[in-house]
């Protein structure tokens, strides 16, 4: 029903416009016949004008019913309907006075029509001002105001010269002059309001409708201007009727255009780079000035004054435009600088990014003096992100960036290449200065970093490369990268200087990592087990699983070569998972086959990278469940550096709660050892072999070993001394109170079968304190 009603109203609006066109055709016929002297009834034009007015008002009223128009648009068209009726009535009353200003009734008609016209024009003005327009800056409002003032002055001049002055000259009455002045001023202000809406656009009313309404006002001004000319030629009286009907037709067309837009929200007109309106107005003023100067000199003063005013306003408008352009150019320049900075700098640390660093390095290599590049990679930064979150990681990166800036000269450049990788470009320096900078970087990172409520120790591995004549950007960066990886191999938190020949070794190391990936799937890995014995009688109580690699071409690859490659490539996770499952399976086989003679547990080393894996606990428990091995027969060995955060400790606590044993390996070699005894759920301390090597000859090593056993006894922890190779060492450790040990004195790592045979032979070895197996 609603759709049918809308269709009917739209059809009615269109028919109203068509009817106005019919009135115009009838008026044109009457005008031609009257001008030709044919006797036609005078009642016809007086009937056509109000008929057109009613049709026009009907069309505007119907425009307020356009579907989807909204409350603002509906109110606008209602107000236009009221103003149309008022202006039509006022114009109809004033028409006889305009056609015959010398008549006795002209003064009375003017006095009656002026207030009605003024009220109608005010209604138009109010309707226009209530329409929303797009937001403008102060500069745009200033330009718009000056454009409107230009049109106002120009239109005022034409209205004065062509309409108001002739009527004032024939009517000296003050009331008439004031009334005409009010009407003229209202028309001018309304014209400016129309122009504002046309130029800026308005949401609820279509731009085409507004443009037609603006032309209606111009048509009304033209009709007023030519009224004296028509009055001077009575035969052409019908032209006044045609002009009035044209106004009603334009109003009706504006309303019909609203229906054509279907009430849709009109898009805002894009701002123009410049406006031609002031120039049109100025040109029209000059034409009027020329016409007055060469014809009627009586109005030369007023028109000349108007021309001067228009020129002054156009000049002021140009000054405002120039000021706005200058401000816009400054804004664009600042914006370009911001964009350029964003394109060349890292948004988090505000250091230069990789692309810009590469450009700067290329420029530095063009200088005659050498340059140095330091590639800086934060050690174990992934642990911070994975355990404490990226927000804490970002704080760490920002702090590190500021400290790196402080470690270089003002003219040198520090960059963030991505992630936790930084670089420094040192201009005009040699290798010795670059090494001093690397040492300063190490020093500035010794102080802990406060981030997210945590005090974190951040270390970095630094690769140093100095340019040689003919070096390219890629060459120097590759050399620094190789040096950085060499620094990581030597131990975290240090630096390494690139030397020729490193490339071959690094490439070989990378190839070894690639081969290791295939070895895991090809079954080239195997485990050996080193017994862990009771120091009092040499009885095997457990074993430590040690991974070995038998390559078909390279033979036995030492663990010292492929374990670092696994850690750097991330293969330590699948490698550790394979070792865990194989060790659990072997321990289950020993328990089933050897019975009481079997080792009571197997110990597996776990890397810090494994502890950060979300499913590590599930992997451990799954490996136990798959082979039916009780959790008490598995010991997990972790290093002190692998459990420096709460997340890793939480994983170990979960395993401890599941009855898995936890041992702290290489105890005493890291700064965090004492704190870990309070937080990490360990059951066993393994004294690092570095404190056993010379325990019988070096008093400090004996003192450390003594302190460790005293702490273990106080905390009710078992102890295992690693690397025992002589009877003297074993005797000293037993004397200090150590319960268990392992080393070549008792046995080298053994294949599973050999260890089983050793375990079965244990009763025959009763009474022996130790057994040395070469």
CA distance 663 to 649: 12
Q: Is 369 exposed, middle or buried (0-12, 13-18, 19+ CB in 10 A)?
A: exposed
Question: What residues contact 36, with CB distance under 8 A and at least 6 apart?
Answer: none
Burial profile 407-419: b = 16 or more Cβ within 10 angstroms, e = fewer: bbeeebbbbbbee
Chain centroid, CA 435 distance in Å:
39
CA distance 722 to 728: 14
Q: Which of 528, 722, 725, 753 is catalytic?
A: 722
C-alpha atoms less than 13 angstroms from C-alpha of 316 in its C-beta half-sphere: 16
Contact, 628 vs 588, CB < 8 A? yes
Contact, 416 vs 346, CB < 8 A? yes
Q: Which of 219, 321, 206 is nearest to 259 (CA)?
A: 206
Query: For residue 297, how many other CB atoms are within 10 A of its CB?
Result: 9
Rg of the chain taking only CA atoms, in angstroms: 49
In the structure encoding, which two tokens stand for residue 128, read together?
């226009």
Q: How far is CA 197 from CA 84, 146, 272, 286, 317, in A?
A: 18, 15, 15, 27, 19
Burial profile 108-127: b = 16 or more Cβ within 10 angstroms, e = fewer: ebbbbbbebbbbbbbbbbeb
Contact, 549 vs 524, CB < 8 A? yes
Active-site residue flag, 722: yes
> What does DSSP say about strands 740-741 and 718-721: parallel, antiparallel, or unpaired?
parallel
Q: Which of 679, 695, 675 is nearest to 687 (CA)?
A: 695
Q: What angle, rounded to 10 degrees, do the helices at 381-388 and 390-407 form? A: 150
Give 436-490 as a DSSP string.
Answer: HHHHHHHHHTSSPEEETTEEE---EEEEEEE--TT--HHHHHHHHHHHHHHHHHH
Helix, strand, coil in percent for the chain, rounding step 5:
65, 10, 25
CA distance 404 to 415: 9
CA distance 635 to 413: 49
Q: Which residue has the tokens 């028309």?
A: 187
Question: Helical H runs in 64-105?
Answer: 71-99
Q: Is 744 exposed, middle or buried (0-12, 13-18, 19+ CB in 10 A)?
A: middle
Cα–Cα–Cα angle for 434, 381, 664, nearest 5°? Answer: 110
Q: What angle, rounded to 10 degrees, do the helices at 559-569 and 572-594 form? A: 130
Q: Which residue has the tokens 């008002």?
A: 57
In the structure encoding, which two tokens stand for residue 570, read together?
């991330």
Question: What residues contact 501, with CB distance under 8 A and at least 6 apart?
Answer: none
CA distance 121 to 114: 10
DSSP secondary-structure letter at 345? Answer: B
In the structure encoding, which two tokens stand for residue 49, read together?
């004008």
Chain centroid, CA 616 distance in Å:
35
Which residues are part of the catalytic machinery?
A: 722
């Amino acid at each position: 029903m609603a759709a049918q009603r809308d269709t009917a109203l739209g059809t009615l609006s269109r028919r109203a416009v068509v009817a106005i066109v019919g009135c115009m055709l009838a008026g044109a016929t009457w005008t031609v016949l009257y001008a030709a002297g044919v006797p036609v009834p005078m009642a016809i034009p007086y009937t056509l004008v109000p008929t057109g007015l009613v049709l026009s008002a009907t069309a505007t009223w119907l425009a307020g019913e356009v579907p989807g128009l909204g409350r603002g648009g509906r109110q606008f068209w209602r107000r236009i309907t009221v103003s149309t009726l008022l202006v039509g009535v006022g114009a109809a009353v004033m028409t006889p006075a305009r056609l015959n200003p010398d008549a006795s009734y002209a003064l009375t008609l003017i006095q009656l029509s002026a207030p009605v016209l003024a009220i109608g024009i005010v209604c138009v003005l109010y309707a226009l001002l209530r329409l929303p327009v797009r937001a403008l800056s102060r500069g745009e409002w200033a330009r718009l105001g000056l454009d409107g003032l230009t049109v106002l002055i120009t239109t005022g001049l034409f209205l004065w010269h062509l309409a108001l002055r002739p009527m004032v000259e024939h009517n000296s009455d003050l009331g008439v002059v004031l009334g005409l002045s009010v009407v003229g001023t209202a028309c001018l202000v309304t014209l400016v309001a129309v122009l504002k809406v046309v130029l800026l656009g308005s949401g609820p009313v279509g731009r085409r409708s507004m443009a037609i309404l603006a032309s209606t006002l111009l048509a009304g001004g033209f009709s007023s201007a030519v009224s004296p000319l028509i009055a001077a030629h009575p035969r052409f009286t019908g032209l006044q009727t045609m002009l009035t009907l044209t106004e009603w037709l334009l109003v009706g067309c504006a309303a019909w255009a609203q229906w054509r837009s279907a009430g849709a929200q009109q898009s805002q007109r894009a701002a123009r780079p410049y406006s031609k309106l002031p120039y049109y107005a100025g040109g029209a003023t000059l034409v009027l000035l020329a016409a007055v100067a060469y014809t009627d000199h009586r109005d030369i003063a007023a028109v000349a004054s108007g021309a001067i005013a228009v020129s002054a306003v156009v000049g002021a408008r140009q000054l405002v435009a120039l000021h706005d352009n200058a401000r816009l150019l400054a804004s664009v320049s600042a914006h370009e600088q911001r964009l350029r900075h964003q394109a060349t700098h890292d948004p988090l640390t505000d250091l230069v990014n990789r692309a810009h660093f590469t450009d700067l390095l290329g420029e530095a290599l063009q200088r005659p003096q050498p340059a140095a590049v330091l590639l800086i990679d934060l050690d174990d930064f992934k642990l911070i992100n994975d355990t404490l979150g990226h927000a804490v990681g970002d704080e760490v990166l920002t702090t590190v960036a500021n400290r790196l800036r402080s470690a270089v000269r003002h003219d040198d450049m520090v960059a963030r290449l991505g992630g936790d990788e930084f670089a420094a470009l040192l201009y005009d320096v040699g290798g010795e200065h670059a090494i001093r900078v690397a040492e300063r970087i190490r020093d500035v990172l010794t102080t802990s970093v406060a981030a997210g409520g945590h005090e974190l120790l951040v270390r970095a591995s630094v690769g140093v490369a100095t340019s040689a004549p003919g070096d390219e950007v890629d060459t120097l960066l590759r050399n620094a990268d190789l040096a950085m990886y060499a620094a990581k191999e030597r131990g975290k938190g240090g630096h390494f200087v690139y030397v020729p020949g490193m490339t071959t070794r690094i490439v070989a190391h990378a190839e070894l990592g690639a081969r290791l990936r295939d070895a895991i799937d090809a079954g080239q890995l195997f485990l050996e087990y080193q017994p862990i014995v009771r120091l009092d009688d040499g009885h095997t109580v457990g074993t430590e699983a040690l991974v070995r690699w038998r390559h078909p071409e390279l033979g036995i690859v030492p663990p010292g070569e492929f374990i670092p490659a696994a850690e750097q490539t991330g293969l330590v996770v699948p490698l550790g998972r394979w070792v865990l499952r194989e060790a659990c399976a072997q321990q289950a086989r020993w328990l089933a086959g050897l019975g009481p003679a079997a080792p009571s547990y197997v110990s597996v080393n776990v890397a810090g990278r494994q502890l950060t894996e979300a499913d590590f606990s599930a992997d451990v428990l799954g490996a136990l469940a798959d082979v039916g091995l009780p959790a008490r027969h598995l010991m997990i060995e972790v290093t002190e550096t692998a459990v420096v955060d709460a997340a890793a400790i939480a994983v170990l606590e979960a395993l401890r709660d599941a009855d898995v044993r936890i041992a702290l390996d290489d105890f005493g070699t890291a700064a965090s050892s004492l704190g870990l005894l309070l937080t990490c759920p360990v059951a066993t301390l393994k004294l690092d072999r570095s404190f056993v090597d010379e325990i019988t000859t070096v008093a400090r090593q004996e003192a450390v070993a003594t302190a460790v056993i005293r702490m273990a006894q106080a905390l009710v922890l078992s102890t295992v001394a690693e690397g025992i190779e002589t009877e003297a060492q074993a005797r000293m450790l037993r004397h200090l109170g150590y319960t268990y040990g392992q080393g070549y004195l008792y046995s080298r790592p053994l294949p599973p079968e050999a260890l089983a045979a050793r375990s079965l032979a244990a009763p025959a070895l009763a009474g022996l304190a130790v057994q040395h197996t070469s």
